[in-house]
Chains A and B, each alone.
Chain A
Amino acid sequence: MVVQYRLNDKEIVSDKVNLKDLLIEQGLYKDSGVAVAVNQVIVKKSEIDSLKLQDKDCIDIFTMVAGG
């Protein structure tokens, strides 16, 4: 099964329906320094491993950068 997502405003298709699996596939999974929101709702770190995604979900990945 292939599912369509919107990842940081970019349309992607994937066969991953688990958030952690998708992040690993996209090279965006890290233990620290990354936060994720799905449909504008922040995902707690403890829930990333188990969160099931839905077709058309909007996923935003945030990371720490220089600033301030």
Chain B
Amino acid sequence: MSDFVVGGVKIPSRLIIGTGKFGSPEILSKVIEASGATMATLAIKRVDVKDGSDNILAVLKEHKMQLLPNTSGAKTAKEAIFAAHLAREALDTNFIKIEIHPDERHLLPDPIETYEACKQLVKDGFVVMPYIHADVVLTQRLADVGVACIMPLGSCIGSNQGLKSEAFIKLILDVVKLPVIVDAGVGSPADAALAMQ
């Protein structure tokens, strides 16, 4: 299997860990060890001055993970661009996963705002990894502006419905040479294996 390279950086494992669903940092630590994953996503939020923050960063650094900050919570391109620049200052990384979902119920990505954010952030020197619908036309447009990969959804975030978009993901693979990382909806190891295939 060829090396998995995003933004010029070789990622030893093709499995990326999302950090939003673990009950404790200890469980996350065990999952990292068991999975062999080397990249993990994390979010940037305004500090609760009273409560401080979780210690997610310490856990990820302990495991020497490649950090992939995301813009979750952003509803517009402007908000995502702001979050990306904050993450760069906080982590000294140019990697950014673009998530723009104005619909809080289904967390579906806004293609127009995502495109605008990607266009600007590529210009700003980021390694841009956008979460999108499995949309071939949008993928081509994003490839043209210089994103490092695309992250099409398998199905709705957190739905555990698996690869409902499989046929469209196959079309994307036919059309672009970018790395394609299936994101969202993966509910079982079988779903993950299918995505890898």
A37: interface (CB < 8 Å) = yes
Given contacts A8-B49, A28-B47, contact A35 B54 (CB under 8 A): no
Give B28's nearest chain A residue, CB to CB. Answer: A66
Residues of A near B53 (CB, < 8 A) are: 63-65
Residues of B near A10 (CB, < 8 A) are: 49
Residue contact B18 to A62, C-beta cutoff 8 Å: no
Interface residues on B, range: 20 to 34
**CA separation between A8 and B51, bound complex, in Å?**
13
Cβ-defined partner of B44 (8 Å) among A7, A26, A62: A62
B92 to chain A, nearest CB (A): 7
**CA separation between A66 and B19, bound complex, in Å?**
5
Give A60's nearest chain B residue, CB to CB. Answer: B46
Residue contact A33 to B45, C-beta cutoff 8 Å: no
Residues of B near A68 (CB, < 8 A) are: 18-20, 41-43, 68, 70, 72, 97, 99
B56: interface (CB < 8 Å) = yes
Residue contact B57 to A62, C-beta cutoff 8 Å: no
Cβ-defined partner of B56 (8 Å) among A36, A37, A66: A66
Q: A28-B47, A68-B43 are in contact. List 6 more A-B contacts (CB 8 A).
A: A8-B49, A10-B49, A35-B90, A62-B44, A67-B70, A68-B72
Select the residue from B41, B87, B90 with max chain A CB neighbours within 10 A: B90
